Amino acid sequence: MSDVKISLYKGKGTILGLSIDNPKGFAQKIKLFKLKEITFNFSLSHLFNKTFELERLLIVSPEINYEAKSDNDNIDQIQKHIKKSLFV
């Protein structure tokens, strides 16, 4: 990420330059996922609840690079890594 701005008072935020690297064993010169900007507005009334409600979501210039191998793919590898990290 190159920049993050969140205003709890105004109920809005922006994330710039978000990217996710390809996992090991896949092309390292390209990103698995990148985008220029995410802008969002959220409901302040739900801020401290278990559910988080977005009133507006704008994604600018998303790019997903899918790479498949004979036994798996880069997106599956990222999902496995996330599950392993969350449930250790």
pTM above 0.85, yes or no: no
Q: Which pLDDT does position 54 carry in this prediction?
A: 86
Are 57 and 40 a contacting pair, CB within 8 Å? yes
Distance separating alpha carbons of residues 39 and 3, to the nearest angstrom: 12
Q: What are the 10-residue block averages of pLDDT along the chain, 88 residues in total?
A: 91 94 90 95 77 88 94 92 82
Q: Which pLDDT does position 31 carry in this prediction?
A: 93
Nearest to 4 by CA among 21, 19, 25, 18: 18
For residue 12, give its domain range: 3-86
Bridge-partner residues for 86, per DSSP? none
How many domains in the chain? 1
